Structure 1
């Protein structure tokens, strides 16, 4: 999951919450610090990922995978509706995890100003 997210244009690895907690940020040439769209870490002995998304999508995924896909771990309440945390142990099919990672990336890209979106597109 981490490698998949890091292959996205403008993605880079950061550890703002400590060395055991990998965050993938989106950065463009004119941004000092990027926005996080994915986090990969171990929670109670289980490898998990937290992915950003639209509120409706977050709720849909939680309904599709009850008790498996949950609100974003450690996200402040205002942010929790825009993030889901789920295990990387196969409870959610890999194809669906990758789809959610793509949606997380697109969600953050869409929040950038148009000129920053163009920077990502033009490399």
Structure 2
């Protein structure tokens, strides 16, 4: 999947915005000020890091060993909750599922009241 398509898909999520809190790289996607996706767009190291639940993160790491790894940039305590996906030849449908899961995971981390406010706006 091309960078522009990934960016467009992330931005299609309700109330999502693009931001650069760490400089030019990574390109971050947030909802309600929480990151759910970080894209590293360099051609020689094209990857995305996505928020996940522990069980889903482990599932993808087992399904795609060496391609989906624990969030490489995270402290070890947070690594089970982030997956880094090396995007060379990674299936598009799986990537879209993982982005959906990342967004949903962040949405579900908010209180029911905040979730309702986000989805109603």
Normalised TM-score (structure 1): 0.88
- Compute the RMSD of aligned alpha carbons: 1.4
Answer yes or no: is 1:3 the counterpart of 2:1: no
Structure 2: any 5+ residue segments left out of the alignment?
1-5
Give the Å deviation of 1:85.
0.4
Q: Number of paired residues?
A: 116
Task: Provide, for residues 34-81 of structure 1, a one-character-per-residue CA deviation record: whole Å limited to 9, x for no partner.
Answer: 110000014682211101111011111000001110010211111111
Distance 1:102 1:41 in 2: 18
Match of residue 3 from structure 2: none
Q: What's the secondary structure of 2:77's corresponding residue?
A: helix
Answer yes or no: is 1:18 the counterpart of 2:32: no
Distance 1:120 1:19 in 2: 27
Distance 2:51 2:114 in 1: 19
More off after superposition, 2-11 vs 98-107: 2-11
Q: What's the secondary structure of 1:18's corresponding residue?
A: coil
Distance 2:41 2:11 in 1: 18
Normalised TM-score (structure 2): 0.89
Show structure 1 runs of 4+ deviating over 4 A.
none
Match of residue 45 from structure 2: 46
Q: Which has the higher helix share?
A: 2
- The 1:43–1:57 alpha-carbon spacing in structure 2 relative to 1, beyond 3 Å, is farther
- Counting only pairs closer than 5 Å after superposition, residues 1-123 of structure 1 correspond to structure 2 as 1-27=6-32, 34-42=33-41, 45-90=44-89, 92-123=90-121
